[in-house]
Structure 1
Amino acid sequence: MKTLVERYIADGQPVGSRTLSKASGLELSPATIRNVMSDLEDLGLIASPHTSAGRIPTARGYRLFVDTMLTVRPLDTVSEPQLQPDQPQRVIAQAAQLLSSLSSFVGVVTAPRKSSVFRHIEFLRLGDRRVLLILVAPDGDVQNRVIFTQRDHTQTELIEASNYLNSQYAGLTIEAVRERLKTELDALHAEIAALMRTAVQVGSEVMAETQEQVVVSGERNLLGVQDFGHDLGALRKLFDLFEHKTELMRLLDTSSRAEGVRIFIGGESRVVPFEELSVVTAPYEVDGCIVGTLGVIGPTRMAYDRMIQIVDITSRLVTNALTQR
């Protein structure tokens, strides 16, 4: 079984009993191997394409191979790549491109999950019952939103509101601020209290918006994969997945809750529901906390040992680059 999977991954051609007899080193006759292959086929681990007497692994067969037979050897074709500790979004884009170039498949990376903690908040009067809300996160990230108020506020009132929020709540999460505001605003003017509640609601929405970013690189690489390059229907579904990204976010979010590299084969992920596709993922960290996930999407006939190393190395590179900032 191990030899069959390795030969099919390397050559992309169904593997026959004569080939296995020569390649396995087990000194078994082709007839004996045919009997074993028949048993493996009955177990659903290999299958026979219509055009060949040889066999190919099924998704179940790949799963058995990855779980029990895979030997991961050090990469010898990758010189130590580097990601520059620049803006987080640039690091993420570089990582997606690196995953794609090293794997020759599709690289996907979720942007770091933003902390819902705010370091500083400020209100700027725009007039006509419009106020510019400025939120500064602990990492220096700045988000601006225009909010609409029940009445026009003076800049003095806005300064009073921002000073109160910064002195009482800076360093807390938006959710914690929301809970405390429910019981601590009785002493403030009703108009200012309403302004603060609006600011917290908008702040919560801002934080939620920043969680949906996923960078995809190398989608066109799949056009050259012989396993499904001619199946236009499958490719159309795939590119739709990459374009909308919501389902992809679900898969990567699930992966972020586990340590180390995870492998989804065939339709196991239920997010990339294609028997011909596999996904290899790993989380990355900033200052010891998991903040995102990255991975490679490619055919089930991929060199899993190599993909595991590529994903693992890139995860550590992203962790180092973002932690150095």
Structure 2
Amino acid sequence: MSLEPRALTLLKTLVERYIAEGQPVGSRALSKLSKLDLSPATIRNIMADLEEMGFVSSPHTSAGRIPTPRGYRVFVDTLLTVQPVSENAIESNLQLSPQLGKPQKIISNAAQMLSSLTQFAGVVLSPQHESAFQQIEFLRLSEKRILLVIVTPDGDVQNRLLLTEVDYTPSQLNEAANYINSQYNGLSFNEIRLRLQSELKEIHSDLSKLMQTAIEAGDEAVSDNSEDVVIAGENNLLSVNDFAYDIHSLRKLFDMFEQKTALMQLLDVSSKASGIQIYIGGESQLLPMDDMSVVTAPYQVNGKIVGTLGVIGPTRMAYQKVIPIVDITARLLSNALSHP
């Protein structure tokens, strides 16, 4: 539905004022702030039309008006003026250099910085990699008890206890580890599983069972250690007035953080879109609350989109500041995780 220029100006003024102060905006304030040469009666008529069309609403306790989700949508899609943000300033704070840590540490830094810069919650959907290993070792602990040690390509070390039906000797354990390391180094556990099925005849029968057990346990260990969603700054939302006095809303919000299913679905959907995406509560079925918004952007590794990052906050957030922060962080994270 198209709006005339005067109505758009008044809607933009109302949303900006409401975001800044959090109070319903009256006709007198709109007349002064919009700088339109309109009579109070004309402004009231235009606002009444905007309310009838669903862009603003009138709280029963005030003569002023506040934006609805539909009003916010028009604002962010057509009326918003994004404020410039220094990319160098964000880059110096983010510490996304690959020399400073492993990929998961870089992703965690990105979530922390999104939270710090916006004072809301920062979230990153991690890249979905097939679990793989660089090296494994078997350590005999006692009869039929073996410690499986897995070193991942990122340098992480995971341990799993294996209870076996056979009491393997140290030489047998070395033979099994050497075979796996020499034949399957760098492959995903799923690839190894498929190859083992066709190569079992070449392997000593006692050791083949041990290898199969080790591959299953290693796959589980590496998968369990990966964080699908990294969230930082959830407690910032306890200080947001829009949430602080509504225990029901806070419970929904933190349920989403704890369960992560809905959050992962939203981030997965946004990773399939291009550029910045803005989800506004009340219009998006992916959000559990009407007064909540999420600003997201996909990030890449070597030109391929592998995940999404974003900021979770109230619908009454300063979109003009949050959007460039999310956009720049996505670009910096893409650069940090990519290899020349």
Match of 2:50 in 1: 40
Aligned amino acid, residue 251 of structure 1: L
Aligned amino acid, residue 126 of structure 1: L
Alpha-carbon distance change, 124 to 286 in structure 1, aligned in 2, over 3 angstroms: farther
Question: Which ranges in structure 2 are unaligned for 5 or more consecutive residues?
Answer: 1-10
Match of 2:275 in 1: 260
Following superposition, the deviation at residue 218 of structure 1 comes to: 2.6
Question: What is the distance in 1 between the residues matched to 2:59 and 2:89?
Answer: 39
Give SS of 2:226's match.
Answer: helix
User: After the TM superposition, which of the residue ranges 274-283 and 257-266 deviates more from structure 2?
Assistant: 257-266
Give TM-score, length-normalised by structure 2: 0.83
Alpha-carbon distance change, 122 to 269 in structure 1, aligned in 2, over 3 angstroms: farther
Question: What is the distance in 2 between the residues matched to 1:42 and 1:129?
Answer: 75
Residues 64-106 of structure 1: per-residue CA shift (max 9 Å, x gap): 2212222222027993433333233543443333222211222
Question: What is the distance in 1 between the residues matched to 2:224 and 2:62?
Answer: 51
Question: What is the distance in 2 between the residues matched to 1:271 and 1:190?
Answer: 51
Indicate conservation of the 8 Å contact 2:70/2:283, yes or no: no
Following superposition, the deviation at residue 238 of structure 1 comes to: 2.0
Following superposition, the deviation at residue 236 of structure 1 comes to: 2.6
Alpha-carbon distance change, 135 to 233 in structure 1, aligned in 2, over 3 angstroms: same
Indicate conservation of the 8 Å contact 1:115/1:137, yes or no: no
Following superposition, the deviation at residue 191 of structure 1 comes to: 2.3
User: After the TM superposition, which of the residue ranges 80-89 and 32-41 deviates more from structure 2?
Assistant: 80-89
Give SS of 2:89's match.
Answer: coil
Give SS of 1:172's match.
Answer: coil
Give SS of 2:18's match.
Answer: helix
Give SS of 2:242's match.
Answer: coil
* RMSD of equivalent CA atoms: 2.8
Give SS of 2:148's match.
Answer: strand
Alpha-carbon distance change, 314 to 77 in structure 1, aligned in 2, over 3 angstroms: closer
Match of 2:205 in 1: 190
Match of 1:181 in 2: 196
Following superposition, the deviation at residue 148 of structure 1 comes to: 2.1
Question: What is the distance in 1 between the residues matched to 2:321 and 2:201?
Answer: 61
User: Identity over aligned residues, as a percent?
Assistant: 59
Match of 2:134 in 1: 119
Question: What is the distance in 2 between the residues matched to 1:33 and 1:79?
Answer: 42
Indicate conservation of the 8 Å contact 1:119/1:137, yes or no: yes
Indicate conservation of the 8 Å contact 2:24/2:66, yes or no: yes
Indicate conservation of the 8 Å contact 2:252/2:288, yes or no: no
Question: What is the distance in 1 between the residues matched to 2:158 and 2:269?
Answer: 27
Match of 2:143 in 1: 128
Alpha-carbon distance change, 115 to 191 in structure 1, aligned in 2, over 3 angstroms: same
Q: Does 1:212 align with 2:227?
A: yes
Q: Does 1:307 align with 2:317?
A: no
Aligned amino acid, residue 79 of structure 1: A
Match of 2:15 in 1: 5
Q: Does 1:141 align with 2:141?
A: no
User: After the TM superposition, which of the residue ranges 175-184 and 233-242 deviates more from structure 2?
Assistant: 233-242
Give TM-score, length-normalised by structure 1: 0.87
Give SS of 2:220's match.
Answer: helix
Question: What is the distance in 2 between the residues matched to 1:10 and 1:46?
Answer: 16
Aligned amino acid, residue 123 of structure 1: F
Following superposition, the deviation at residue 273 of structure 1 comes to: 0.6
Question: What is the distance in 1 between the residues matched to 2:321 and 2:284?
Answer: 20
- Greater fraction of residues in helix: 2
Indicate conservation of the 8 Å contact 2:133/2:151, yes or no: yes
Question: What is the distance in 1 between the residues matched to 2:86 and 2:20?
Answer: 17
Match of 1:228 in 2: 243
Question: What is the distance in 1 between the residues matched to 2:334 and 2:93?
Answer: 11
User: After the TM superposition, which of the residue ranges 69-78 and 204-213 deviates more from structure 2?
Assistant: 69-78
Match of 1:31 in 2: 41
Aligned amino acid, residue 165 of structure 2: Q
Residues 225-283 of structure 1: per-residue CA shift (max 9 Å, x gap): 22232112211332333344444344334434444322211155545411111111223
Alpha-carbon distance change, 269 to 188 in structure 1, aligned in 2, over 3 angstroms: farther
Give SS of 1:185's match.
Answer: helix
Question: What is the distance in 2 between the residues matched to 1:291 and 1:17?
Answer: 47
Indicate conservation of the 8 Å contact 1:281/1:296, yes or no: yes
Indicate conservation of the 8 Å contact 1:113/1:211, yes or no: no
Q: Does 1:103 align with 2:113?
A: no
Following superposition, the deviation at residue 304 of structure 1 comes to: 0.8
Select the residue among 200, 225, 241 that pairs with 2:256. 241
Match of 1:279 in 2: 294
Q: Does 1:87 align with 2:101?
A: yes
Alpha-carbon distance change, 251 to 173 in structure 1, aligned in 2, over 3 angstroms: same
